[in-house]
Structure 1
Amino acid sequence: MAVWCPDWPVVAALAEEGLPTHLPAAVFSANVVQACNGGARTAGVRRGMRRRDAQSRCPGLQVHQASPDRDARAFEPVLAAVEELRPGVAPLRPGLLALRAPARFHGGEESGAALLAERLVGHGVWDCRFGVADELFTAEQAARRAAPQECHVVEPGESRTFLRALPVETLDDLDAVSLMKRLGLRSLGDLADLSATDVRDRFGPHVAWVHRVVGGDGAVLLATRTPPPEHTRHVDFEPPLDNAETISFSVRRTADAFVGGLAGQGLVCTEVLVEARCEGEVEPASSRLWLHPRWFTAADLVDRLHWQLQGALGRSGEVRAPVDRVTFVPVTVVPDAVHADGLWGGTDERVERGIARVQGLLGHEAVVRPVLQGGRSPRDRQALVPWGERPTGLRPRADQGGPPWPGSIPAPAPARVLSSPWAAEVVGGGGRSVDVDERGAVTCPPERFRPGPGDGWQPVGAWAGPWPVEELWWERPSRRVARFQVVGVDGRAWLMTWDSGVWWTEAAYD
């Protein structure tokens, strides 16, 4: 049995932001639609469509960046819910899982699917579909043709007949599908009539495997997983405690057990949820999600709890309500080898703890660190990421296999990027303003410049450029920009920009 939850990347993105599922939304990777929900498809959005085309068809489209970690994290409760009824679940990818068809115990595949659907709906997964067949690939295709919360059963021995009638668009390979349609292949049955050698040579290994499956070979064995051990730890206080120092001291053994349990599995925790239950209820102010740039130790957990109790429940050492339970819930765990120390060490532990303390007082978004991304101007290349969080959705850099970013300035990069560009002036001989024509050439060599409104004029000692680029060329009028490196006779160097006839100072080479 295959259990399919359609459009799962979109479902996970909307759930993370607390948005209703009926809103038209799409998940993008490299500005291309990776997944979209029913509301977006109704407006004409399709997979593989570029972002500007998708937003032109659906102006109210909710845009989300692809995040495989987010998808897997949101799918874990679905796996756990299915495992409560049927152990031996095989997660194929976020949104799709497989298991042995629960027919004998529940009185039929439809009855077993109805019970699973009831459990998943209880966990908030309304659109879940089930397919049953002799083979895993056939079961997945059967689930894709089932109605929401329904089960499509392919009778034993009928898998080949079922697959041969499917269109070639069933394959998740846009290039292969396009080639097959140009060759006149319309169904998987047409593909199965070809020789195995021709299919492998022309379409590649994935289509060759589907060719074997349609022919009755190439079945994949079901690789089930063992339910993960429970890593959550909690400690109860009887009677409840109302002092932050006492509570923090009393959870040290629990924190050691939490870290030790993860270490026994070769794991470390980089994101943890700390809950302090007051009088039997967990208040929003007493529950906080903490991140760590490396991993949490037992001392880190005790510190986070102490700061949380002081910052949210009381600052004088006495909490507002007695605490009867403290719980540590691992949200993100990774293999310990991922965060092993480098050859020259890492960030000082005291710095990390100080930054985490500031985050506890001011909020997670209050402390950020700069990272580099792709772009043309120094400002575009900067991105600020909350401390302890892994950067996502960055534009690819040219030195990491990304686009070349034509028009960007060469190395070295400026040492200081201005928070707001300064209005500048650059003139040539006779006081004529220096401009850049449509071919990217200057109208006259620059002789004097003023980098900012409060600065005086000074002669140009040296200059380089321009590096022209036409931005937003698909709009009219487009934006023509050219960047210059200008050095004054005082030795100071500046990065100056000519923007459609107006000069600005963007950065300084201190």
Structure 2
Amino acid sequence: MMDWPVVAAGADHDEPVAIIARERVLACSREARRQGVRRGMRVRQASGRCPRLRLLDRDPEAEVRAFEPVLRLLEKRVAPHMEVLRPGLIAVPARGPARYFCGEPALVGHITTVLTGAEVESRTGAADTVFAAALAVRAGQAGVLVPAGQTGDFLAPYPVGVLGRPRLSQLLPRLGITTLGAFAALPGERVLARFGHDGAAAQRTARGQEARPLNTSGADSDYSVAEAFEPPEDNLEPVTFIAKALAEQLHARLARAGAVCARLQVEVGLTSGLRLSRLWRHEGRLSALAVAERVRWQIAAWAETGQLDASAAGITTLRLVPEGLSAATGRQSLLFGPRIAPEELEHAAGQLQAMLGHRAVVRQELAGGRGPGERIVDIPYGDARSRPLVEGTWPGRLPAPHPAVVYRTPRPAQVMGADGGPVGVSGRTLLTQAPAALSIDGAAPVGVTGWTGPWPVLEEWWIPAQARRLARLQVACADGRAWLLHIRDGRWAVEALYG
């Protein structure tokens, strides 16, 4: 499905909209693309190309919720089994459905008809591997059907960057290898010797083959993990916590067996006897925290679409089932130097949380607010945001650029005018005189070379016990540093440092 994060956000493709994550464009609308915005761009570059660009933070949970009705429709009308690569992108084994619908072109036509009837814009591609099929979806105006056995030829012109291995993609062009075809043509034994098993897996991908050999010796082994809830659980938080523990058990079992899985099935049993399941693409890359997060998204999506009514039918069991087992060939770091993988960081965070408490390791995210401290919230590592980012005008909000350092406890300060007297703010929010010097924590005053403001803030004035009234001021000093100050009850304090 085209630009699913944009669709899930409820944005109109006729307006310039970009979904951002980690200060880069994750997805954008057609109008934004028409004006030069592309995936992977930095937010500043995208805004420069399209000044009217509306930026929205990514909401993975909302993407899963919005995608669940589409999946249910496809399971009912196309195929009962499919795997979710990510919300908006699914993989369907074509052999059975293609026979039923008398060929792949007829199958693609049926899928398009079903989704068009549901007012969902889509593209469809087919190839011998999931990786190639995902590229085939983006090729042409409506996707490409790659004939069986020709996947390697289809992939050959693509740049090596599409492999999704940054360091390999940086090194190969320096060696004169810029396309998947050139990489695929290298002798396999030399690629293995130079780049290790991960490089060999990448070469198989470039050749249109599955990335890793099948682990036939463990095909009949059961590595699934499960937890029963007694009494049945109707709250999402404990289920998510158990999902993280189950994911760690699953990873440990697979590691002992020397295997990784390509897909992970999430199964939930209810007191009503109903059993819900969903298949997610895994490929050995999802950490325990990432698995728990997807369990949370999936259960929330089932609840949102009415499939799961926890008040009427509590959760009795949670089961994680790995599918598509293959040999865990590991990664080689000698050529590229030391490597710290995100999953290793997440494992370390989980260990610290186990020893020091759940809130011992946090990540910071933006929130709605006027001051810099109010716009940052601490979220325990591994938890989803409890409430979405509140959009609004926020009168009195601090304008950009944002400070580099925000003090949890404001530092006392004095702002003085040219006559050495204190600078204040009148009832009309005007400075009593121009700032000339600034003293912080009782230190010697530093000359003020520029200032802007003040910006008044009046919050919850209707609740006397919680009312807050202050004014903010930005000042630049002769020592090259710039500060954000506020005055409250006649006292100045430093809130943040710009640099």
Name the structure 1 match of 2:2. 6
Name the structure 1 match of 2:475. 499
Letter in 2 for 1:100: P
Name the structure 1 match of 2:16. 24
Cα distance 1:263–1:58, how it changes in 2: closer, same or farther (>3 A)?
A: closer
1:106 to 101, 108, 130: 101
Structure 2, unaligned runs of 5 or more: 215-260, 279-291, 320-349, 378-383, 391-401, 434-438, 455-469, 478-482, 494-499
Name the structure 2 match of 1:427. 416
Greater CA radius of gyration, 1 or 2?
Answer: 1
1:449 aligns with 2:446: no
Tell me how far 1:105 sits from its aligned partner: 0.9
Q: Is the 8 A contact 2:366 2:389 kept in 1?
A: no
Cα distance 1:193–1:88, how it changes in 2: closer, same or farther (>3 A)?
A: same
2:374 to 382, 398, 405: 382
RMSD across aligned C-alpha pairs, in angstroms?
Answer: 5.7
Query: Matched residues in 1 for 2:107 and 2:208: separation?
Result: 27
Structure 1, unaligned runs of 5 or more: 232-256, 276-295, 299-327, 347-370, 395-404, 417-423, 434-447, 471-476, 482-493
Q: Sequence identity of aligned pairs in percent?
A: 28
Matched ranges for 1:312-351 at <5 A:
none
Query: Matched residues in 2 for 1:144 and 1:262: separation?
Result: 35
Tell me how far 1:58 sits from its aligned partner: 1.1
1:321-353 Cα offsets, whole Å, 9 max, x none, are: xxxxxxx899xxx989x9xxx99999xxxxxxx
1:448-476 Cα offsets, whole Å, 9 max, x none, are: 5355548999xx99624889999xxxxxx
Name the structure 2 match of 1:134. 128
1:187-228 Cα offsets, whole Å, 9 max, x none, are: 211112335576568778765422123346544679677796
Query: Matched residues in 1 for 2:313 and 2:310: separation?
Result: 14
Q: Secondary structure at the match of 1:34?
A: strand
Matched ranges for 1:212-361 at <5 A:
212-215=204-207, 217-219=209-211, 298=311
Name the structure 2 match of 1:96. 89
Q: Secondary structure at the match of 2:415?
A: strand
Name the structure 1 match of 2:119. 124
1:426-465 Cα offsets, whole Å, 9 max, x none, are: 337xx635xxxxxxxxxxxxxx5355548999xx996248
Cα distance 1:415–1:87, how it changes in 2: closer, same or farther (>3 A)?
A: farther
Aligned length: 338
Cα distance 1:119–1:206, how it changes in 2: closer, same or farther (>3 A)?
A: farther
Cα distance 1:273–1:142, how it changes in 2: closer, same or farther (>3 A)?
A: closer
Tell me how far 1:121 sits from its aligned partner: 1.6
1:143-184 Cα offsets, whole Å, 9 max, x none, are: 332532x5x333232222332243334333566445433433
Q: Is the 8 A contact 2:23 2:42 kept in 1?
A: yes
Q: Secondary structure at the match of 2:27?
A: strand
1:37 aligns with 2:33: no
**Is the deviation greater in 207-216 or in 29-38?**
207-216
Q: Is the 8 A contact 1:372 1:381 kept in 2?
A: no
Letter in 2 for 1:381: G
Name the structure 1 match of 2:405. 408
Using the size of structure 1 for normalisation, the TM-score is 0.51
Letter in 1 for 2:422: F
**Is the deviation greater in 264-273 or in 138-147?**
264-273
Q: Secondary structure at the match of 1:143?
A: helix
Q: Secondary structure at the match of 1:130?
A: coil
Using the size of structure 2 for normalisation, the TM-score is 0.52
Q: Secondary structure at the match of 2:203?
A: helix
Q: Is the 8 A contact 2:47 2:53 kept in 1?
A: yes
